[in-house]
Amino acid sequence: RSRSKSKRISGFDMAPPAAMIPNATAATAIVGQMPGTTPTIPGMFTNMF
Amino acid sequence: CSRLHTKPSISPTLLLSNMYQRPDMITPGVDAQGQPIDPKAMQEHFEDFYEDLFEELRKYGEIESLNVCDNLADHMVGNVYVQFREEEHAANALKNLTGRYYAGRPIIIDFSPVTDFREATCR
């Protein structure tokens, strides 16, 4: 096949649509949750002892 | 193939699972919209894929052989087998391709025990 055709963009690193990456949304959710969950743990300790 | 065969810890051959998707994978000769596909377009689609693959893989070492399965058994369809001259090159390619995407789908890559493709059949 002729090589004169301009080089297409390689399919490598063609990321899926954002909605299709469960990890991306999950990761941001976890990051968002972290400050909220951490303070509850010291609270639990005070109740326990 | 990708069935439960022993996976070596190092091998010159890599398996990229289900990487090639034919345009007519749902019904042979017909695309996802139900339109018949020109065999020439199909060949071109495959050649583009093969070229992308080759151009990417050659960055990591000398390629001995590059095979794409056009097999309808669904555990094998579109599997790509790439054999490098050296195990280290395969290891390098594995390291560099893990966690990346091709055409919007994650690349599933692992070492494969296959070193002779004439002998390679799933039994």
What does the pLDDT look like over B10-67, one tens digit per residue? Answer: 999 999 988 998 888 778 888 888 889 998 998 999 999 999 999 999 999 999 999 8
Residue B3 lies in a domain: no
Residue B52 lies in a domain: yes
Residue B122 lies in a domain: no
Interface check A20 vs B, CB under 8 A: yes
Residue B36 lies in a domain: yes
**Which range marks the domain in which residue B34 is found?**
13-112
CA distance A38 to chain B (A): 30
CATH number of the domain that residue B97 is part of? 3.30.70.330
Q: How many domains does chain B divide into?
A: 1
CA distance A30 to chain B (A): 20
User: What tens digit of pLDDT does each residue of B79-112 get?
Assistant: 899 999 999 999 999 999 999 999 999 999 999 8
Is pTM beyond 0.90 here?
Answer: no
Closest residue to A10, CB basis, from B44, B55, B104: B55
Measured from the Cβ of residue B108, the count of other Cβ atoms closer than 10 Å reads 15
Reported ipTM: the value is 0.73
